[in-house]
Amino acid sequence: MATVDVRPFEAEHAPDVARLATTVQWPSLTDPDVVRRVCAAPGATAFVALTEGALVGWAQAPGDGVLQSHLSFLAVHPEHRRRGIARALLVATFQSTGAARMDLIADDGPVTDAFYASFAHRRMSGFRLYPGAARLPEG
Ligand SMILES: CC(C)(COP(=O)(O)OP(=O)(O)OC[C@H]1O[C@@H](n2cnc3c(N)ncnc32)[C@H](O)[C@@H]1OP(=O)(O)O)[C@@H](O)C(=O)NCCC(=O)NCCS
């Protein structure tokens, strides 16, 4: 089986990450320029997985470098799953944030549930907020 190389994201990876986002149906990340900006954001760390010259996985996580990081994106190409690639990406990204812990939200589903539950974890509930949806205090 071909070896997998997990290494820090570089700007030249952006078009391949955008293609991966298309494959996994993440429409907000199908523009390479958006991918570049997301990965270069202050405090963000990002890694890619390459095999035989092809990009097959990507992870990105912002963090404060001390306590808290947040796994924003993690995806592996469908043809390369169940080979430990997401695990390797998550471990590399988490370590690189320098934070003590990592939070994440994910769509409900048996695969993401099984994947994240395979790490040491504590289950909590989460929210995703959008601008303009703020509820003003009464009175
Ligand atoms: C979730 C995802 C990233 C997992 O990628 P992956 O490279 O296949 O995961 P790994 O091979 O590293 O799996 C590690 C462990 O997670 C669990 N796991 C992963 N996929 C699983 C599945 N389909 N069924 C059951 N358990 C699974 C297993 O415990 C597995 O270890 P094992 O193979 O030794 O049993 C991948 O399915 C994916 O990209 N999905 C679409 C995007 C997504 O949902 N991203 C996460 C939300 S941000």
The rounded average pLDDT for each run of 10 residues, N- to C-terminus, in the chain (139 residues) is: 94 98 98 98 98 97 98 98 98 98 94 96 94 68
Residue 70 phi, psi (nearest 5): -135, 120
pLDDT of 24 reads 97
pLDDT of 93 reads 98
pLDDT of 108 reads 87
pLDDT of 136 reads 63
Q: How many angstroms does the Cα of residue 118 sit away from the middle of ligand 1?
A: 9
pLDDT of 44 reads 98
For the chain, where are the alpha helices, taking DSSP H only?
14-23, 32-39, 85-97, 110-117
Domains present along the chain, CATH in parentheses: 5-117 (3.40.630.30)
Closest alpha carbon to 92 in 3, 7, 2: 7
Query: Which of 20, 93, 115, when mutated, tests ligand 1's pocket best, judged by the most ligand atoms within 8 Å of its CB?
Result: 115
Ligand 1 binding residues, C-beta < 6 A? 24, 74-76, 81-87, 106, 111-112, 114-115, 118
Cα separation, 134 vs 124, whole angstroms = 22
Q: pTM (2 decimals)?
A: 0.94
Cα separation, 25 vs 113, whole angstroms = 19
- 3-class DSSP assignment, residue 59: strand
Q: How many angstroms does the Cα of residue 77 sit away from the middle of ligand 1?
A: 11
